[in-house]
Amino acid sequence: MDWHDDGIVLSARRHGETSAIVHVLTRDHGVHAGLVKGGFAKRHRSTIEPGNRVHTTWRARLAEHLGNFALECTHAHGAALMDNANRLAAMSAALAVAEAALPEREPHPATLEALEALLDALEHIDIAPDATAWGQLYVRWELGLLSELGFRLDLSHCASTGVTEDLLWVSPKSGRAVSASAGEPYAAQLLALPGFLRLGGGGQVSLRDIIQGLKLSGYFIERHLFAPHDRAMPQARARLVERLAKQGV
Amino acid sequence: MSASHGMGGPGTIEALIQLLAKVPGLGPRSARRAALHLLKRRESLMEPLARALKDTAQSVKTCSICHNIDMTDPCHVCTDPKRDRSQICVVEEVGDLWAMDRVVGFRGLYHVLGGTLSALDGIGPEDLNVGQLVERAKNPEVKEVILATNATVDGQTTAHYIAERLSNTGVTVSALAHGVPVGGELDYLDEGTLFAALKARKPV
């Protein structure tokens, strides 16, 4: 059996001397692994770089087999981001989170489209001129991933009073927004809701807002997607937060 | 197959073939050919090779300064008085050091990281020889650190991390250029390489 699909390379692990086991987030087949024969050979090495947009052909005798991938690179995001440490870190973090969080062989086309949009924004300085611009997109991508997997945060109104204004916090228990007045007595236990995620939120966004956003999405990703499987947050994502936190101080 | 050779246990021809098959570039079939070649030339090749392997295994050392593999510690590169001590070229593996050392134009010192940061394999900064590099870079003799990590996502992530760690040492941190290889035809180059080459274009 075989199929053709488009997707993004999430990771490539060496198998034997030159072959690779590649994980691709595809549109109709979700995160799918396959063997790329000679993937780590000089000629094909650049095709399996994480972040590459690829056209995939998967072949196997039975559906449950690992199968073989034939990959054709249609766009190399990684190559475009290599000289920018922050953007490269953001791409690596998104790919690592997607690979660790998404179940294999379960289609999530919305997540793929959002990831493509994020990688485009990271690559094109006119879409996202600085870390505060692509940082917002990154946080929204992670919140979208949570939503796609059934853990949507409700940031539209206060969980306690129902008001839609002055929302400053998020309850770590319910994942719902909490207003300034209702949350004040519990401020130490609540997660900060950055301005750009508030209803009608706009205005100036700082690196501090982005870090708050990353803490917020990271908390729920760990709680809902990784902790039940006894998994830790991918190192690449932790490094992104660390990197931005250093610059935000 | 092993029965036909009258083999199977350690010290047999089959064991030799199985060991040779573990060498990069050799599969079971080529290992069999290599074993046969050695067996036919026992005195002229097999015994000297066995002696060389044993001697090397017993005396090989990892350089405590640059992590190169050599017969002495420090290695011949670190002790060479003709080397330019103001430059340190940072590479991922010993094989990369040997490749770089073939470049006639570079006569500086090296530092082998022992891999790259890799989220997939769980390799963090503490697993690499980065701390020692930072210490070396603090030596006033060192003026430039050249990052020669591979042009892969992991390689470049590692390069950015090292550049950040070296930012307070005062040394110039540079990286290898990426682009069209010598003898490369544009038509056969991948999109990423062409993109990197275009980005790093220079006035002629």
Domain A2-78 in this protein, CATH class:
mainly beta
Residue B64 belongs to some domain of the structure: no
Q: Do B54 and B102 lie in a common domain?
A: no
Give dist(CA A35, CA A100) in Å, integer: 19
Give percent of chain A above pLDDT 90: 72
CATH code of the domain in which B73 resides? 3.40.1360.10
Residue in A51, A79, A92 nearest the CB of B195: A79
Q: Do B28 and B91 lie in a common domain?
A: no
Residue B9 pLDDT class (50, 70, 90 cuts): low
Written as one letter, the residue type at A60 is A
Residue B2 belongs to some domain of the structure: no
State the pLDDT at residue A17.
85
Q: What is the pTM of this model?
A: 0.87
ipTM of the complex: 0.83
Given CB atoms, is A92 within the 8 Å cutoff of chain B? yes
Each residue's pLDDT, cut to its tens digit, for chain A (249 residues) gives 899 999 999 999 999 888 999 999 999 999 999 999 999 988 788 899 999 999 999 999 999 999 999 999 999 998 889 889 999 999 999 999 999 999 999 999 999 999 999 999 999 877 778 888 999 999 999 999 999 999 999 998 898 888 888 899 999 999 999 998 898 888 889 999 999 998 776 678 899 999 999 999 999 999 999 999 999 999 999 999 999 998 865
Residue in A11, A79, A83 nearest the CB of B192: A79
What is the domain extent for residue B149? 69-203
Given CB atoms, is B193 within the 8 Å cutoff of chain A? yes
The residue ranges of DSSP E strands in B92-143, in sequence order, are: 108-112
Cβ contact, residue pair A82, B163, below 8 Å: no
Beta bridge partners of A177: A170
Q: How many domains, in total, are found in chain B?
A: 2
The residue ranges of DSSP E strands in B18-83, in sequence order, are: 61-62, 69-70
CATH code of the domain in which B45 resides? 1.10.8
Given CB atoms, is A17 within the 8 Å cutoff of chain B? yes
Given CB atoms, is A83 within the 8 Å cutoff of chain B? yes
Q: Do B22 and B49 lie in a common domain?
A: yes
Q: What is the nearest CA distance from A35 to chain B, expressed in angstroms? A: 16
Q: What is the nearest CA distance from B203 to chain A, expressed in angstroms? A: 20
The DSSP symbol for B73 reads: S
- Taking contacts as CB-CB distances below 8 angstroms, the residues of chain B near A235 are 117, 119, 122, 124
- Taking contacts as CB-CB distances below 8 angstroms, the residues of chain A near B121 are 13
Q: Do B42 and B114 lie in a common domain?
A: no
